[in-house]
Each structure stands twice: as C-alpha cells, then as structure tokens.
Structure 1
Amino acid sequence: MDRKQIINDPQTGNKGEAFEAYDDIPANPNLQRTIGDVIAARYGRRELLKGILGVSATTALFGATALSAPRPSAAAVSPEQGRYNFAELQWGNDETHHVADGYDADILLRWGDPITADAPEFDVMNQSAEAQLKQFGYNNDYVGFVPLNEEGSRGLLCVNHEYTNEEVMFPGLGRQDRADFAGMTRELVDTEMAAHGGSVVEIARGNDGKWQVVRDGKMNRRISPLHTEMTIDGPAAGHPRMQTSADPTGTRVIGTLNNCAGGMTPWGTWLMAEENFHGYFWTDKLDEDGKPDLSEQPEAEQMKRYGAPGRWYAWGKYHDRFNIDKEPNELNRFGWVVEVDPRNPDATPVKHTALGRFRHEGAETTVSSSGRLVVYMGDDARFDYQYKYVSDGVVSEDPAANARLLSEGTLYVARFDEDGSLTWLPLVHGEGPLTAENGFASQADVLIDTRLAADALGATPMDRPEDAQPRGDGTAYVMLTNNTRREADQVDAANPRAESSFGHIIEIKEAGGDHAATHGHWSILVKCGDPALAEVGAEWNPETSENGWFGSPDNCAFDAEGRLWVSTDQGSGWGKTGKSDGLYGVETEGELRGHSKLFFRCPVGGELCGPYFTPDNETLFLAVQHPGTDGTKALKGFERASTFEDPATRWPDFDPKMPPRPSVVVVTRQGGGKIAV
C-alpha cells in the first residue's frame, strides 16, 4: 500500500492507526541479515517453523520443567511459586482499567488537569495553547520519579507526552489526515504543539497513603515544541547541517516532540527520547501517489532512510520550521535524546547529539563496573537497530563532571551472531567504512545519519527494538515488539516468525558483567503470543496461564527487588489476542524463567506505558495513553472508530460531556506495603 491507500483504508479507524500502518513499511534497505536469521541459525530453521525449539534449547531457555510439566489453569499457580506475590488478574478488554486483587489503581493526573497555581481549569470545549501550557499534556508515555525528601513521600513526576489524537481531542473535528488537514487552524495546531513534550509535577503522599498533585509546586512546568528553548551539544552541535535561518549557530532549538520512553540518570536528571519525529514534518510537494517528492532535496537519501517527511500533522502549514521546503535542516535537529533537570526550572534542556539520531524509544541508564555511564537505546522501527552509549568519564559527585558524561563518549550498535555472541560496533568517524569516501565527512555526519552509519557497519536489523532495561549485574532485556512485514522467506531471521504480530524479548549478558563491554552473549527470554496455538510459535514457561501470556512487549522496568515488569503495546492489532494492553511480571531466573503473570490491564484502545516504581517499592506509576482509540472496531458491541462525540470509552471520568483522557495511574497496596512482595 502507498500512503494514500493507507489513509483511505476503511480498516484504519484514526490517524494514529494509519500512521502505524504506514510506518509498518521498513525504511531500512539493508536486510541481508536480520535478527531472525541469527535466531534461525542458532536454533534451527525446522524447529522454528514448527513453533518449537529442540530439547537442549528449550531446556536452556525455560529449565527442565518445560519438557514435562503440564500447562495449568489460571488457578493452578500459587503466588508462592514465583517471585511475584499477587493473585493473577483475569485477561479481557472493556471500558475501564483493572488491577490485581488487593491493590488500588487511582487516577493521579489526566490530560488537561491544571499543574500550576495560575492554570485555568480544563475546558474541553474551549481549548487553547495558552491554557494547555499550564495543564497536563496529552498521551502520557514515560514516567520517572525524583524523590524530594529522604522518606520519598514527596517527589517530582517527570512525564513524556508522545503525540495527540485529533479525532478524540477536539470537538467536531474528525479525522484530518483524510481531508488534507482542512479543519486544522493555527489555533488548533498550536494547542496540539502545547500538548506535546513533557510535564514536571510535584506530588506528595498523604497520611492515608494516597498521592496528590502539589499544584503550587515551584518546580511544576510544561516542556513543549511550541515554547521551550533547548541547547544542542556534542559532536553535531554547530554543524552546518544543524543550522537554520532562525538559528544560524546550529546550537539552539525550540522544543522536543514525540517523546516516547526515556530514562533517569544516576544524578537525577530526566532523559526524554524523541521517537517518530519524521511524522511532524511537512512538504507541499507530493507525487501522484501522495508521497513526498524529494527530487529537489539535497539530503533526499537521508530523508528517505528516516521516513521523512511523514506529513502526519499540519504543523508545517503554519510553522515554516516544520516545512522541509523552507527549512530542510530543522529535520536534523530532532530525533535526539534530551536531558532535563526537573529540580531546576531555570536550567535549559540539552539535546545530546553524542547519543545519535534515530527514532529513540527510550534511554535507560546504568553505571558500568568501571563507573562509566551506559545508556541503552532502541530504534523503534521494523528492521532497525539496538544501540548503547558509553561515556568517557565516570559518574561522580561532581555535577560539572556529570554534565559532560552525555556529551563525551562512544555510541555503539549491536550485531547478534549465530553462536549467541554479541558484538557492539563503535560508530566512530574514520573507523571501518565510516569515512568521507562513504559519505561521512565527520563525527557529526555519523551521528546525524546514525541509521546510515549503522547500515554501513553491518549491524543486525531487529524487529522493532523498543525499551531496553539494564540490570546492575551486566544483564539487559530488549523488548522487540513485532514485525508484521517479515515475509516467509525471511523466517530464518532472529525474530523467527513470518508476519510476527507478537514479538519477543532478548536477554543480553555483557562480558564480565560489565555494561561498558564491547562483547557479550544473548538468548531469548520469551517468544510472545498464545502458546496454545502452534502456528503462532510462542514460547513461555509452561507454568504460564492463559492470563499470563501477552503480545507486543514495549516498555519495561525493574523494581527494587530486581524483578522485571513488562508493559505491552499491541496498537490496533489487539484484536489478534483479544486482550487489552497491560502490565506483566516476567520471571528471568530459575525454574520459572519465562513465566509471566498479569497484574494490570488498560481500558479498550489504550496503551500501557511507564512503568516506574518508587525506591521503597510501595508505589507503581503507570501511564495509559490514547484510551478509547486503537482497534475499537474489534470491541464487541461498539465495532466502529472512536470520535470525540462517540468514543468507545469515556475513561477515566465516564462523563458524557468528556472524551477519553490519557492519564497517569498510581498503584498502591491496600493497607500499605510493597507491591507483589
């Protein structure tokens, strides 16, 4: 399908679903050796095609019980059998959220909630950019927490706002991508822009154990692509390709956008990852199929590799900097990782070009055994790559020294080999093919064109690498969401299934337990999907119940007990599982390795993001974005696309005058105590 066909396809219920379908088309031409090829070579094509592994591989992945234990019913696994002590939630899909028995899941922040003392109350029928810049933004994704006191009873919540859904955000508007954005005005575009970016909100826990927003918190603020000035640093700062008419120095930029997952640094700053930045750029020059005509663009090859301009928003109609016909270099100023100091509202956020330019899903940090900062990052696209960054200096108590750690270091891209070995390839100008003769005149070019540089190095194309969570022992877990574009003749690729809708999780063990190592080993933790269907080819610990398996792993987190929690993003394809997106506890060690339990699930059409635990493990923050939008044609009894006036759910308010509102949920144990312990 071309862009026009996807937009007009009756199966796409909203702009977000059309965007997802269009992005399903790989931008990477370097598909000779994918991660699926590696898995197939390591475990054997015949076994993968059957949806099973050999005896030795199965034992290695899931323990000896995988060969003999019967599959139990949901009630057969007692909480004491694993590290996750809670009664498993029943799977399903309906208008509201659900959490395991014995826990409360309270709404803490909703789109439009005032977050500053002078903010107006939310008026959904009279939205404005001015009001939105003082209110909680739209589609909350990553959530981080910075304690403000020793007890951890006060803190700053740092929340990314990824994108907007016009169909359910604005009254009377409807789908805009099908109408060439005819209904969008400058006022609506500016309101959309104001709803992107991030929020810093002070919160406090009361004597009853419940968290509340501190509306007059002095550090409360909004960050947006409409008004927040940022500094560009690192090797690409000041490069001619980063210069625009508004910023001839190439060192200052307004805002950040499509902030998906992220991370927190050891010194308490917040990393905002810019993901699908390409969709925000516009061109007036289209071919007969509605595709951007890049024939006059000097960087046409680079733009195509990044899928830009996507033309999924009308921002370029009203803001020249988002129109590549007028400001082509502005495109190069997005796709980075942004560092924000949430405790200092006067500190200018920084875009760190040393971490590379691609569709950053997240930026999860750890400290290596030698004291260096390591950041794991996935490029969330089919057949793109897994990265990590290692600082030159070490983490210390010196703020000035820590400030340089994200500016001075080496970016690596992963190659997964057939024997289970892992090699991190340095993206360094002058090394290997990264030379001027091959189009990389400097380290700035290597980083601006990170995808092209990784192509040249022969990195392993992956199946949508999203969040990657490191653990202190040199282990990291990579969430590979899906790849519905994998064809049957590519099944000998490391995601071993053609047209995989369900994804898998890879475990990395860095050499010597050192996250800064340039070599390591990898294995599969789980292959997702329904294990009862042989054609799906899923692999779980056999103790996993029908409630516990899931599809499309996306975000993940470790709690204070060192346990892995995984949230899902099935997009419009949740009808393939019948399950709403949710949060699962996944065993990574011992006899129950590969076992999963359902703890929380979203309302229909919503995606679960976050998750983030407080240091005492007594509070879990979750973000539900775009409730009532994705795949609502699959909801029995509704079976149509949602609109502002007619949504599949009005979660969380259930007010007939209010559309669904993306919200942050705070989970606590009834009566107090640690979660799932």
Structure 2
Amino acid sequence: MSTDTQQLTIIDHGEGDEPVAERQMNTLFSSILEARLGRRQILKGSAGAAAIGFMGLGLAGCNSSSSDDDDEDNGEGEAPAALLGFTAVPVSSADVISVPEGYSTQVLVPYGTPIAGDFPSYSINSTGEDQAFQMGNHHDGMHFFAIDGSSEDGLLVMNHEYIEPRFMHARAAGVALGSGGVPPLIDGARPADEVLKEMNAHGVSVVRIVKGVNNEWQVQPDMRNRRITALTPMTLQGPVRGTDFVKTLYSPNGTMTRGTLNNCGNGVTPWNTYMAAEENWAGYFRTDDVDRREFDRYGIRPGGTGRYGWELADSAADQYVRFDASSTGASAEEDYRNEPVCFGWMVEIDPTDPDSVPVKRTALGRFGHEGVVFAPAVEGRPVVCYSGDDSQFEYIYKFVSAGNFNANTASGSLLDSGVLYVAKFNDDGSGEWLPLVFGMNGLTPANGFVSQADVLVNTRLAADMMGATPMDRPEWGAVDPANGDVYFTLTNNSSRSEDQTNGANPRATNRHGHIIRWAEEGGDHAALTFNWDIFLFGGDSGESGVETNIGFDPNGDRLTADNILSSPDGMWIDPDSRVWIQMDSGATDPFGNCAMLAADPNTGELKRFLVGPVGNEITGVITTPDQKTMFINVQHPGGTTSSANFAAGNYTSSWPDNNPAQFPPRSSTVVIWKDDGGVIGS
C-alpha cells in the first residue's frame, strides 16, 4: 500500500444530524401569541372534556381543569401540587455537567466501553473487530428495560446516531479535519479496518447495568449484552417486504438487509420491545443513477461519494461495496441500486433475546424518522404511534394498526398492517389526519403510485400530494400519561420565509424552534381529527434588546434566565407528567452549552435542570421505574472543535476523561440521582 495520500472529496451532507441552522432574526407578532393562547382554550373546552370519557381524566396537559379559569383548583378544593422542586441551574459554558443542588452524577458507558465478547479495552488504536464488542459512538435515544421490575438492575438499550472519524483513528492526529472529516485516502481508498470500525460504531447497544454502592452503576457481563451495527442482518416486514423496491444482490427476494444507520430517537412498544429510528441515512450512499423518485425526495444525488466514503474501502468486500447504489449489474439482484430503499425505516429489536433478528417495520413509512412514540395501549383497541420526519418542511405521521391490542398476544406483527396518516394543522387550531393509502385521494397510478409498497417507499411524495403541513423539523414526540396529550418538538427552520408561515409554524427564519401539542378528538388516539396549540416558543428573554429573539413559556410569559432555551429536540414525559426538554443548539450566546429543562404542564412552570459540557448535544432521557435514577446522554462533546484546532490537538472539550493527551472527548451516558433518594425533579 502506497503512503501517498489524498483528501476525500465528499458531498456536504451536513455534520451529524440535521445541521444547526444559521441564526438570523425574525419577527414574532403579538397576534401569534394571542392565537396560541386562544387555541389553548379550544383544547381545554372541547378535547379536554371529551378526554374525560375516554381516559377518565381531564386535560391537565393544557394547563387547566375543564374550566377556562387558569386559577381554578383541581376540582377537589386544592391546586395541583407543583412538580418541579429543584432550583434552576444557570446557563453555563463550562466543560462539565451541571445539575441542581442536592443532585449527583456519574459518567457511565462512554464510547468504547467493552460490553461483550472478550471485553476488549478501549483505545484510539482499537480495531474494527474490537468495536463490535464496545459501546458505539454518539449516544442518542435510549430506554431502561428493568429486569423483573427492578430499579437497580436492567438492560440499557441505546442508539448510536453517527460518528466523528477524526476522534476514532490514530491516523487522523495532526490532520485538519472538521467534525465530519475522515483521514486522508491512501491510493484512492480507505483502509478497510477503519471503515469496519466506523460501521461497528453505528447502530444500537444492549448492555446490562447494575446499581452498586454509593448509587453508582456498572456494566454487568450478560449473555444479553450485544451490539447491533451497520452490518447486522435484519428482516424486512410489512407491505414492502419481497417487492422489487428492496431486491438486492444480498437479498434477491427482497426479504433481508444488513444493518441500521443514523439511529436518532427511539421508542418502546406496548409489548416491551425497542424501536430504533433511521434518520439521516441518505448521505451514506453514492449513486450514478439519476431521476429516481426513491432517491430524489430523500437527498440522494448522483456523483461524489458517500458521507464517509465507505464504498471506497480497499478490500472491495461486498459489505462495503453496497454503499455504491449505482446500477452496475444487469438487474437489481446483481448490484445495490436498491440498497438505500432498505433504510429510512423504524427497526424493532427484542433486547431480552440475544439471538433475535431485528425487524424493519415498513408499514410505518420511509423517511427521516427521528423516533417513534406510542400512545397508551388500550385493550381491544388499535395500537397507535407517532413519528416525526426530522428535516426542514417535513411532516408528522401517525400509524394506526389494523389489528387490536391484546396484552397476552401483542407482538410486532401489529405494526405490519394498518394505516399510516400524515398531519394537517389548520390555522384555526383544528387538525386532521390524512390517510396515505394506495388508490385513495390521488395516490394512484395516474400520479405515479403503483401499490401500497410504493406509497410507503415514497412516503414523502405521498404526503406532499395529500397536502400535509410542512413543519419546522419535527423531532421527538411524547404522550402525557395523565391525559393523552401529544407533544412534538419543532427544533428550528432557518429556511422558512414570511410567506411560508402558518398557524402551526408561525415564525419566519425560525432560529429557536417551538413545541406543538394536540389532543385527539374524543380522547381517542385513533381519531381522524384533533385540536392543537403551541406549548412554548424557544428563544431568549428579550434582554438582548432584540424583540424578535424572545421565547415564551407554557403560560405565554417571556422566558427568563432560568429557562431560556433554543432548538428543543429530545423530549420525554415522565409518569408524573413532567415534560423533559433537551436542547440541540450548539454553544450559542446567550444560551450557553446545550441543556435539559423540565416543565410542569399543570402550572406552566419551566426550569433548567442540567447543562452539558462544551460542544455537546443533550439527548436521550429515561428513569428507572421508581423514578429515582435518571439516565441522559451527552453526544459529541468537543464537536465544535475547528479543523485547525483539531490539527493542533486543541479540543474544545476534554469531557469526560479530562485527559486529552490520552483520550479524545467521548459521548457518554450520565446517571443522575437525588441525594435524598427522592424522585428526580421533585
């Protein structure tokens, strides 16, 4: 192998997940806020009352009882108890984890932690094979699966969204590389072991963790510990299975594929399996094919190379070649022209069975899934779940199963048959679910759709035709367990112009994002209509002197130093209805490092709970069943390191090891507990 090197020229697919938008100012009209508060009354008066019949509960998530008076009690003579018992953490730009007084933290399972096989120790010199038994990179969505209901012993299952090759390979040292850059090519190729290492750093980790002394947790060797990577065999189920859309050299009958990529948010099914979302997968492929509808609407363009140039691995093995989606053979069964169609799905994983094969559930649609959130399962009723397509001007979807839920028999097969809907948000605060069903409403051969599989493979095109509402990057969703309200974060959208605004996305050049919320008609998550309002607007307190930069809390009050936030992304609602909100804004003034806040939907109170280290994104959040231990993820600390500073070895963060001479910054999980042993947030 020659030592002559060259830089890899890659089409700019953005670094990490959706690139952080350029920050420009926009006008926030008072009428927007007035309309939002008016829609809250619609939610309270109509859907809230109907929800009593379905769920047996009022619509507390709309900051109310069924009355329009926000100062009314809870119907029993007492105001609702406050959920947020901590003092807000200040904005910070320090390279540490900050939590409220009375809380403690522990770093757990950083990138490279050995969890399976021979437990190979982490090193910058770890091999591609080593990586298959170590925690992956860029921790993201996750869930704690309690073993026998325990809050001290369980399987932590988490996504690894993407990678920073410069922090993974010793050969990258001293090279001017940005966060998406790869080490220089050698004779026009990438060393196969580097590519293998990167593939194995993607995917999902399943690791048993046990609570020990001093509230600290540790990895427990267990037969269920495993890595699911970009190479793991997977089955395709649902309407797309076996169709011409997914036939490849690897699976000529279109029933199998390999690996999962760019897993961002997650979900947990009512039958207690894990769902991993495939988000920004399109950039991993190159192609010479032009005018393919399965490619064009997803950003796969002819020319150039894939995001990391995996197809250039010097071994030319099939597992690498498949990232060239050009038509090189006589038919689809002889090449990988259809490989990109095998991605963009929700992936179901059974964490309790190490021999189980992950399943891509195609009935849930193909797009840039941020995650999936399930409505509470009701015996004898359909299973319902929601998913956002994380890109500017994309949509929010809902799937309603054809079969009904039975706790004794429910399985993933319920996700293989049903109706996928896309949301239309009307400016008057009403909304409707539009069915994406072949043969209905223009989804016909006359408009290019030949089957239900076609509708699902080209979900974005089908949603376009139905007239769905383009949103400001719909990301994580959550359902309030108290009343069934559905929340979605809309992270930002720098590209929306004044003439493209609408009631649900009212800010042009939306720098700081907002959170939308709705109640399904009659409290039935399978309903075809809903009422919505905006829960909060991201932004600062207006103290910068620029009125267009301000944010509003759930009460419609301006945000303060205790709760300013930008770019809400990760979200979870705990069993007590605390709304946990995570930022993905980069380190920007005046917001500081990315943070996590908590909101009380009963009172409208909003406080900052945690601030992460430099250059990070806070993402993924779950507690143990007793709610006394919380897990959150810190993704890509030091990701703001410039290419020049990387070449000089000057990283913006040294977290969590604080030893930059030996360890680069590493994505990690953070364990949080209350020193008095209480419920997190209380």
More off after superposition, 441-450 vs 304-313: 304-313
Counterpart AA for 1:88: A
Deviations 1:292-351 (A, max 9, x none): xx43x5x1x331210115832211223121111142200100000000000001111100
Report 1:109-258 matches (<5 A). Answer: 109-116=109-116, 118-124=118-124, 126-173=125-172, 174=175, 175=177, 182=185, 184-214=190-220, 216-226=221-231, 228-258=232-262
Q: Does the aligned pair in 2 maintain the 1:474–1:509 contact within 8 Å? A: yes
More off after superposition, 365-374 vs 330-339: 365-374
How many residue pairs get aligned? The number is 606
Deviations 1:569-611 (A, max 9, x none): 114xx3254421111001223xx32x32011111011001111
Q: Does the aligned pair in 2 maintain the 1:164–1:196 contact within 8 Å? A: yes
Q: 2:312 aligns with which of 317, 322, 326?
A: 317
Partner of 2:389: 379
Partner of 1:442: 451
Partner of 1:657: 662
Partner of 1:27: none
Cα shift at 1:421: 0.7
Counterpart AA for 1:584: L
More off after superposition, 407-416 vs 387-396: 387-396
Report 1:542-561 matches (<5 A). Answer: 542=557, 544-561=559-576
Partner of 1:42: none
More off after superposition, 407-416 vs 149-158: 149-158
Cα shift at 1:178: 6.9
Partner of 2:552: 539
Report 1:396-475 matches (<5 A). Answer: 396-399=406-409, 401-472=410-481, 473-475=483-485
Q: Does the aligned pair in 2 maintain the 1:560–1:615 contact within 8 Å? A: no
Sort the Cα spacing of 1:192 and 1:55 in 2 relative to 1 into closer, same or farther, 3 A: closer
Report 1:488-637 matches (<5 A). Answer: 488-492=498-502, 494-532=504-542, 533-540=546-553, 541=555, 542=557, 544-571=559-586, 574-589=587-602, 592-593=603-604, 595-630=605-640, 632=641
Per the alignment, in what secondary structure is the counterpart of residue 512 of structure 1? helix
Cα shift at 1:265: 1.1
Counterpart AA for 2:137: Y
Counterpart AA for 1:144: H
Sort the Cα spacing of 1:359 and 1:602 in 2 relative to 1 into closer, same or farther, 3 A: same
CA distance in 2 between counterparts of 1:403 and 1:495 reads 34
Following superposition, which runs of at least 4 residues in structure 1 exceed 4 angstroms of deviation? 18-24, 49-52, 58-64, 176-181, 639-644
Cα shift at 1:19: 7.3
Question: Which ranges in structure 2 are unaligned for 5 or more consecutive residues?
Answer: 1-8, 44-61, 65-69, 71-79, 314-319, 329-335
Deviations 1:140-187 (A, max 9, x none): 101111111233321100010000012223234242767896264221
Partner of 1:670: 675
Per the alignment, in what secondary structure is the counterpart of residue 332 of structure 1? helix
CA distance in 1 between counterparts of 2:403 and 2:625 reads 26
Sort the Cα spacing of 1:239 and 1:643 in 2 relative to 1 into closer, same or farther, 3 A: farther
CA distance in 1 between counterparts of 2:145 and 2:475 reads 23
Counterpart AA for 2:295: M
The answer as to 2:506 corresponding to 1:480 is no
Cα shift at 1:446: 0.4
Per the alignment, in what secondary structure is the counterpart of residue 214 of structure 2? coil
Q: Does the aligned pair in 1 maintain the 2:615–2:638 contact within 8 Å? A: yes
CA distance in 2 between counterparts of 1:507 and 1:274 reads 24
Sort the Cα spacing of 1:304 and 1:149 in 2 relative to 1 into closer, same or farther, 3 A: same
CA distance in 1 between counterparts of 2:138 and 2:528 reads 36
Sort the Cα spacing of 1:169 and 1:360 in 2 relative to 1 into closer, same or farther, 3 A: same
Q: Does the aligned pair in 1 maintain the 2:40–2:533 contact within 8 Å? A: no
Q: Does the aligned pair in 1 maintain the 2:39–2:429 contact within 8 Å? A: no
Sort the Cα spacing of 1:522 and 1:51 in 2 relative to 1 into closer, same or farther, 3 A: closer
Q: Does the aligned pair in 1 maintain the 2:432–2:530 contact within 8 Å? A: yes
Cα shift at 1:556: 0.6
Sort the Cα spacing of 1:181 and 1:429 in 2 relative to 1 into closer, same or farther, 3 A: farther
Q: Does the aligned pair in 2 maintain the 1:382–1:463 contact within 8 Å? A: yes
Q: Does the aligned pair in 2 maintain the 1:388–1:412 contact within 8 Å? A: yes
Counterpart AA for 2:165: E
Counterpart AA for 1:417: N
Cα shift at 1:8: 11
Q: Does the aligned pair in 1 maintain the 2:17–2:280 contact within 8 Å? A: no
Q: Does the aligned pair in 2 maintain the 1:155–1:204 contact within 8 Å? A: yes
Counterpart AA for 1:208: N
Per the alignment, in what secondary structure is the counterpart of residue 231 of structure 1? strand
Cα shift at 1:665: 0.7
Q: Does the aligned pair in 2 maintain the 1:606–1:626 contact within 8 Å? A: yes
Q: Does the aligned pair in 2 maintain the 1:551–1:577 contact within 8 Å? A: no
Q: CA RMSD in A?
A: 2.8
Partner of 2:296: 304
Question: Which ranges in structure 1 are unaligned for 5 or more consecutive residues?
Answer: 1-6, 25-44, 70-79, 286-293, 634-638
Q: Does the aligned pair in 2 maintain the 1:368–1:516 contact within 8 Å? A: no
Identity, % of aligned positions: 38
Cα shift at 1:488: 3.3
Counterpart AA for 2:467: G
Partner of 1:40: none
More off after superposition, 156-165 vs 363-372: 363-372
Counterpart AA for 1:658: F
Counterpart AA for 2:294: Q
CA distance in 1 between counterparts of 2:151 and 2:20 reads 43
Sort the Cα spacing of 1:17 and 1:332 in 2 relative to 1 into closer, same or farther, 3 A: closer
Partner of 2:58: none
Sort the Cα spacing of 1:276 and 1:224 in 2 relative to 1 into closer, same or farther, 3 A: same
Counterpart AA for 1:559: D
Q: Does the aligned pair in 2 maintain the 1:143–1:612 contact within 8 Å? A: yes
Per the alignment, in what secondary structure is the counterpart of residue 199 of structure 2? helix
Q: Does the aligned pair in 2 maintain the 1:115–1:136 contact within 8 Å? A: yes
CA distance in 2 between counterparts of 1:436 and 1:181 reads 47
Sort the Cα spacing of 1:443 and 1:645 in 2 relative to 1 into closer, same or farther, 3 A: same
Per the alignment, in what secondary structure is the counterpart of residue 93 of structure 2? coil
Per the alignment, in what secondary structure is the counterpart of residue 29 of structure 2? helix
More off after superposition, 270-279 vs 148-157: 148-157
Counterpart AA for 1:395: F
Q: Does the aligned pair in 2 maintain the 1:339–1:351 contact within 8 Å? A: yes
Partner of 1:28: none
Structure 2 length-normalised TM? 0.83
